[in-house]
Structure 1
Amino acid sequence: MRLPPHILVVNGIKVRRPVFLLGAPHSGADLVARALKRSPGFHVTMGRACVSHVLYAFARKPSIGRGPGATRVLRDALAESWQVLRGSCGQCPEPCREAGGVTGLGPCVATNTVTRFGDASPDLLYSAPVLQQAFPDARFVQLIRDGRDVAVDMLADPECLAWFKPVMLSEGTEFPNPFLGVNRDEHVERWKGMPVAGKAALRWRSAVRLSATLRRDLPADQLLTLRYEDLALRPAQAVATLSEFVETRVSKVALYGRRLPKVGAWRTGLRPDDAGLVEKVARQELTRLGYLSS
């Protein structure tokens, strides 16, 4: 009998309750992915090209993600990413291999040990509605971090900075554009002339708004929101909460053994003008989330 369309089989294993880690850039999704990758039964991928190409296509042109074939395209990409083959880890970016403790080409897991799948590809957040349709039983963990600290790390990340080049908003760009945080085409010229700290604030602001939408639309048993600050300052409590949510014993060592960027790094990492711009652009969200006094 043919399996229902929402059941995906990878390596002979039915994909049930996959876990997807979401958040603005540098909000801590990679840290949680590191913990899950080292937890019993989990096979978590991060940034495989087959997935990233689809995610960025959906992010830059949202109408593609609303098309009839979007669900199948993303499911197929994830199925390819989750395949456990000889040398498969050689196709993973360095952060994924490092998180899994892989020194060669892999694979990082054995198929007979895998019971759960997950993905923490950068900017997965922008495909969350498609993931909901593709995997109705999925679990989502979204990470929230102070937008000012996020801006510090984004300004030091060449990959993030590459998205802020004026060419990224071309004539074919759709609006509103959550990925870059630009809502209308008449705002394009203003965006092009904005300092990069302001563009980082726009990306963070848009991401946390999407996170708020997910919190409103998804039932509590499918969505967990974690704060980066809790991961950094109270890792045992954060891991206990995560373990209960995903119904798996999550490794604490992955968090304890890693040096995390400091909470409040923006105080020394942002120039006063940049800090003021980030607070101006994202004031409403910073205030709503408790990072800025009203």
Structure 2
Amino acid sequence: MRLPPHILVVNGIKVRRPVFLLGAPHSGADLLARALKRSPGFHVTMGRASVAHVVYAFARRPSIGRTSGAVRVLRDAFAEAWQVLPGSCGECPAPCREAGGVTGAGPCVATGEVVRFGDGGPDLLYSAPVLRQAFPDARFVQLIRDGRDVTADMLADPACLAWFRPAMLSGQTEFPNPFLGVNKDEHLDRWKGMPAAGKCALRWRSAVRINAELRQALPAGQLLTLRYEDLVREPARAAAALAEFLDTRVSKVALYARDAGVGAWRSRLRPPDLELVERVARKELTRLGYLTS
């Protein structure tokens, strides 16, 4: 059933056409969030606790996202995250504060300057169906990156690897599970015995499939797809595409990556890990042009 229109109001500002940055881990959403945080009129958050708790609850139990209350819960989470209060930036993770240039206790934006909202927090992608219902006029920017580079970065990120620990697979975790990339219940035992590189590849593969589904479901005016490799090789062109899509000025300087990591998998992935990643995600790597068949 179609939900009745409802405009969220934050700090007296109507939330219209919010922007959500979606992608697999280490695919460049943080880079785009940095650029948007420096764009005029934008208030962009990254990983605020109120949103992260909901996103990971949906990730553990995908069925929650299909309940009647999921939309309200997610809207309430963003209503809290987007509040501009004297100490609100103190509740943000370090990457968000650094991206916003916060050096003191004050907020990174002034309420009077805000006209648009957005979020580039980790793993928003797995809440995309609920985001679409909660914010029907939202704009989505999805990031695609070579799954081998993504795996190399995930293997070096304790926060990503933590999801593969046995303790994280509590009784509340449902299977099949797109977040972990486990498609069928009967694959769970195989997943448990898989090396970390394979689990990272499964997460990337699942994210790519969700991105493909979004491209089928959303009109062109509501979704923009960017490749991480294009962001770091041609930041000016990427900034122009993003600016046109969002109808705003976007800082190309903020898109210059300090450590691009394009093709770094060649030196960072051990041969057995590379072989496993390419076996697990061969279809998607080939379809996206990262691997020749």
- Given the two structures, how large is their TM-score scaled by the length of structure 2? 0.97
Answering whether residue 273 of structure 2 is matched by residue 292 of structure 1, we say no
How far did 1:15 drift?
Answer: 0.3
How far did 1:6 drift?
Answer: 2.3
- Structure 2 distance, partners of 1:9, 1:273, is 51
The AA in structure 2 aligned to 1:222 is: Q
Aligned counterpart, 1:277: 276
1:43-62 matches, within 5 Å, as 43-62=43-62
- Structure 2 distance, partners of 1:65, 1:78, is 16
SS in 2 for 1:209: helix
1:151-162 matches, within 5 Å, as 151-162=151-162
How far did 1:176 drift?
Answer: 1.7
Answering whether residue 87 of structure 2 is matched by residue 87 of structure 1, we say yes
Aligned counterpart, 1:7: 7
- Structure 1 distance, partners of 2:127, 2:5, is 19
8 Å contact from structure 1 (residues 6, 136) kept in 2: no
Deviations 1:166-205, CA, capped at 9 Å, x for gaps: 2333444322200000112221111111100000000000
Aligned counterpart, 1:70: 70
Answering whether residue 179 of structure 2 is matched by residue 164 of structure 1, we say no
- Structure 1 distance, partners of 2:209, 2:64, is 21
1:73-222 matches, within 5 Å, as 73-222=73-222
1:219-238 matches, within 5 Å, as 219-238=219-238
- Structure 1 distance, partners of 2:168, 2:211, is 23
Aligned counterpart, 2:27: 27
How far did 1:5 drift?
Answer: 4.4
- Structure 1 distance, partners of 2:229, 2:260, is 10
Provide structure 1 residue ranges, at least 5 long, that are not aligned to the other structure: none
Provide structure 2 residue ranges, at least 5 long, that are not aligned to the other structure: none
- Structure 1 distance, partners of 2:73, 2:171, is 26
8 Å contact from structure 2 (residues 60, 172) kept in 1: no
- Structure 1 distance, partners of 2:207, 2:171, is 23
- Structure 2 distance, partners of 1:106, 1:145, is 35
8 Å contact from structure 2 (residues 58, 65) kept in 1: yes
How far did 1:113 drift?
Answer: 0.5
Deviations 1:34-77, CA, capped at 9 Å, x for gaps: 00000000000000000000000001100101100000000000
The AA in structure 1 aligned to 2:262 is: V
8 Å contact from structure 1 (residues 152, 270) kept in 2: yes
- Structure 2 distance, partners of 1:128, 1:122, is 12
- Structure 1 distance, partners of 2:82, 2:171, is 36
- Given the two structures, how large is their TM-score scaled by the length of structure 1? 0.97
Identity, in percent, stands at 80
Answering whether residue 274 of structure 2 is matched by residue 255 of structure 1, we say no
Which stretches of structure 1, 4 residues or longer, exceed 6 Å deviation after superposition? none
Deviations 1:128-166, CA, capped at 9 Å, x for gaps: 010100100000000000000000100000000000112
